[in-house]
Structures are given as structure tokens and as C-alpha cells.
A = this chain, B = another copy of it.
Amino acid sequence: MSELLYYDLKDVAGVAPSLATQVCRELGRRIVGGLVREGALIDDENKLCERFGVSKSVVREAVKLLVAKGLLEVRRGSGTRVRRRASWSLLDDDVLAWHLSVEPRPGFLNQLLEVRQVFEPSAAAWAAKSATRDQIDEIRAAQRKMENAEEIQDYVVADALFHRAVLRAANNEVLMAMEGVIFSALLSSIRLTNADPRDNKRSIPLHQKVLAAIEAQDADAAEAAMKEHLEGTRERLAQFTADESEGK
């Protein structure tokens, strides 16, 4: 197990993830990245042990994890194969992260944003109706962090925290489970828009608008403001990917 050793945002700083986790990530990235065709058999357990230099237990745990994420299907006797893309758990944090770390297609980012455009405005509306004082404080704190951020990274993280806080304030457990989707989407937007910090700061007033509406318990305004903000994000993404495919 020398070639591997992946670190992830989820890992606590300095602590190496278990071998099983590492093998899982390596295989997951390759599958999501399309290096193994859908429906194709992957190497058998022994081959995998050899390839990664680990024991069978480790390989088995890794494979099981990928089965749980819908990426693999193992059949005793015949082997382990990649399931068709439609069966993958795209809402799983890891699967999503692998997609975004590997996926060059702008189409996927678009689809992700489309989905955010659907549920985040509703989340804002619900937050306006049901947010507690603490939850509003959390949103406000994120807003302040965005305003005070000097480094682009701090800004983007604060942005993500803002959206997560709104999601939490909606007080819907199922919705809250989409937290990972937001973080992943934001994270990948870092890569795209990293270049131009000024462009990002532009979205502060729109966040402010969302916050104000939630503070005022005005559900309609909150929904509209969030919708407006995401529409802006979408336009910028479209413009950026256009530049990308054309200019480069």
C-alpha cells in the first residue's frame, strides 16, 4: 500500500484514513472516472490484493463499501461488476465528491445547480417560517464571515456555511441530508471561479437579502431572494463553461 494514500476533506488533519477507505477511494474514483466500463467485471479479490498490496480483508471491506454506494454488485461465484450509472448513489457525499474531482463535463455541475435551484429557495422559505434565534445567528455569522473574508478560500467556505445554515434553519431532516450536495457543489465551484475574487464578492448583497428576509420571517421574500441568488450563480457558471470550452 505504497502508491495510494489519499487525503480527503473529511479526514481529520494528520490522521491517515484506514487502508480499506483508501482502497475504496481509489476504486471509486476510477469507476466514477469511467476507467472501468459499466457492467464490466473488475479484478477479482486476489488481483486487487496484489495490485494494492493489501490483504483480502481490506479489499473486501473496500468492495463492500462501494456496493453500499451502489457502484458495484458482487455475485458469488461469478465476480464483481460495475453497476450501471443510474444505480449509483449520486447523493452520497463520497460518490458526489469523486464525480466532481474527476468529472470534466460541465453538464453535471449544471444538473447539480439545477437541483439546488429547486430545493434551496424552499429551504429559505421554510427557514423564514421556522428558524430559531440560534439558527438565524448561525446564518448571520456566516454572512459576516463572507463580508470580512480577505482570502478567497475563506470567502468560499463562508459561502458554503451560509447555505448550510439556511438548510439547517429549515428544520427538515430530509432536506438537511442534502447538506453534502451543497458542500460538494460549492467546493467544485472553487476550482472554476477561483480566478476572480471580485466576481465572487458580488454575491454578498444577495446573501444579505436572503438573511434579511429570514430575519423578517417573510417566506416569499426569502424564497425569491434565494432564487435570484442561485440564478446569478447559474449564469456565471454558464458563462464560465462557455469561456472554458471556447477560449482555453
Interface residues of A (CB under 8 A from B): 20, 57, 60-61, 64-65, 68-69, 85-86, 88-94, 108, 111-112, 114-115, 118-119, 122, 126, 172-178, 181
User: Of B61, B85, B111, which is within 8 A of A60 by CB?
Assistant: B61
Alpha-carbon gap, A181 to B115, bound state (A): 15
Alpha-carbon gap, A31 to B171, bound state (A): 21
CB distance from A173 to the nearest CB of B (A): 6
CB distance from A42 to the nearest CB of B (A): 18
Alpha-carbon gap, A108 to B173, bound state (A): 8
CB distance from A73 to the nearest CB of B (A): 11
Q: How many copies of the chain does the oligomer comprise?
A: 2
Contacts of A91 in B (CB 8 A): 91, 174, 177-178
Alpha-carbon gap, A181 to B119, bound state (A): 15
Contacts of A20 in B (CB 8 A): 64
A-B contact pairs, 14 of them (CB 8 A): A65-B68, A68-B68, A68-B69, A85-B173, A86-B173, A89-B93, A91-B177, A91-B178, A111-B173, A112-B174, A114-B126, A114-B172, A115-B175, A118-B122
CB distance from A238 to the nearest CB of B (A): 16
Alpha-carbon gap, A88 to B92, bound state (A): 11
